A and B are shown apart, each in its own frame.
Chain A
Amino acid sequence: MFDALAEKLQETLSDVRGRGTLTEDDVNKAMREIRLALLEADVNFKVVKQFTQTVKERCLGAGVLGQLNPGQQVVKIVNEELTALMGGSSAGITFSPRPPTVVLMAGLQGSGKTTATAKLARHLKEAHGSSVAVAACDVYRPAAVEQLVKVGTQAGAAVYEQGTDKDPVDIARWALDRAKTEGKDVLIVDTSGRLHIDERLMQELKDIRKAVKPHAILLVVDAMTGQDAVNVSEQFAEAVDFDGVVMSKLDGDARGGAALSVKAVTGKPILFASVGEKLDQFEPFHPDRMAQRILGM
């Protein structure tokens, strides 16, 4: 799972770790390796710049250089700063005192929304005994409705769909009414994939939000995303002010720097990790583990 750069960083750090004293040059050398490792892990260029600056200042400022085990101190600082950037412990979904709690899923094409919709339904059902309905508001992608019917049913959720001839905003509104009537605890609204620069579809998302007033909006982000993660999440945040992120496809070997970038830039926490195609492969997100994965430690 660790590639050459990650190993190199570990080497540099263990090299530093083993030494008694550190010079400013040593710190600079370590920062260069860390920078490369972070870029290789797809952490955003600007975030990396800021991060290495902060770490360097801490390393040079706190009298670390003169301490007994300066190398270990550097490693510790890097780890601490990275974990802090990733956010504290996972928060999950806050239920509304007046059900149904409405969750709106959003994201780019193919990021994993429909799968995450079913997984979240299953998770809430298992963990909280909630009765869950999912709403099929993707009327564009061929067979998107059929897909949600299959995975939603498999997850034990009621699937609310009206085919592909109606407006997604109307379907969402209808689904909310039905969830109320049927006394569901949770309604999860699946939407079609959309580009953050697609004005019509971003407006549609805003309209769906207005129609169902979600208690939580989740942005589904593919863990393999590169530098563009920042653009995407900034624009989704601006349009619908989402509440948290689902990181998908974390069962791959991508180092997942996109997670760090999204958190750093939007301040939104990563709430869930999607770690496979099966519906039970879904779990609360652990910031500390992610920090270590990004660094390859």
Chain B
Amino acid sequence: TLFDTLDEETWERLEEALIMADVGARTTAGVVGQLEQEATSGQVEGGPALQERLIELLAGIAKTGTDTIDLRHEPTVIMAVGVNGTGKTTTIGKLAWHLQRELGKTVLLGAADTFRAAAVEQLTRWAERAGCDIVTGPEGSDPGAVAFDAVAQGRERGVDVVIIDTAGRLHNQEDLMNELAKVRRVIGKQMPDAPHETLLTIDSTTGQNGVRQAKLFSEAVPVDGIVLTKLDGTAKGGIALAIAGELQIPVKLIGIGETLEDLRPFDADDFARALVAP
């Protein structure tokens, strides 16, 4: 562990570990400061106790708000948003499979990424894999119209969950963010309290820009949770800690691969432990 030897460099090593995990300088300084203070005052003594306290502190930051998804609406409408290439479409495929297979829910997908080349084909392929239906529109058509149509069909058919895919967009592009807000409003016109769950995908390899992503996306559409994708790589996804700490947006799901089965609920303790694992 980081506390096998306790000396002046211990705190530097801890700082390095957290920054290398993309936790960011601010959040890192807070955690290191707190632990150092508790160690100096004798509140926490010895390597193992420090290690446990560290994990407790990190997990404490990661745990914020509601980290589950309420599926009791009829249907529950979930919308996936995020910057380009973070894993929205793949996550939807995995989630649809999980909802149907593990929870016995019926799922309908809405292909509201009408912009990116072959985005509709990609989601269609995932729908086939997951064994659910999909509502599509022509490439280049209005994404709001597709989303509206998907929710309408979901209600008509009485499915349990409708999941709307959206095009990747950078949070600093105002027109695209306005478009996203509009898609959300259009969904709300079809079903007043929908979407019930807006999930923002954050790629684990993302650095400090992740906080900006979360901030600007949640300004455009209230974000209920983060899906932290690509955790099967070497990146530890520490930016999710900074997002939870600074914006109180919880991580709800993690992506750990490219197959249907590679989606898991977020576990703050496991995440905290992995953050500081060598």
Contacts and interface: CB of A to CB of B under 8 A. Distances in A.
B84 A42 contact: no
A112 B20 contact: no
A227 B118 contact: no
Contact of B207 (A42, A146, A195, A253): A42
B54 interface: no
Contacts of A11: none
Contacts of A112: 84-85
B206 A251 contact: no
Contacts, number: 140
B83 A224 contact: yes
B22 A226 contact: yes
A151 B207 contact: no
Contacts of B204: 228
Contacts of B16: 45
Q: Is the interface of A mostly helix, strand, loop or mixed?
A: loop
Nearest to A225: B205
B25 interface: yes
Interface stretch (A33-41, A55-63, A96-104): A33-41
Interface residues on A, range: 35 or more
Contacts of A3: 212
A224 B209 contact: yes
A146 B118 contact: yes
B5 to A, nearest CB: 20
Interface in A147-193: 147, 149-151, 154
B170 interface: yes
B125 A142 contact: yes
B21 interface: yes
B232 interface: yes
B170 A251 contact: yes
B19 A39 contact: yes
Interface of A: 1, 3, 36, 39-42, 45, 108-112, 140-144, 146-147, 149-151, 154, 195-197, 222, 224-229, 231-232, 249, 251-255, 257-258, 277
Interface of B: 16, 19-22, 24-25, 83-87, 93, 115-119, 121-122, 124-126, 129, 170-173, 203-210, 212-213, 230, 232-235, 238-239, 258
Task: Pick the 7 closest A-B CB pairs, nearest first.
Answer: A226-B207, A110-B85, A42-B207, A142-B125, A254-B209, A147-B118, A143-B121
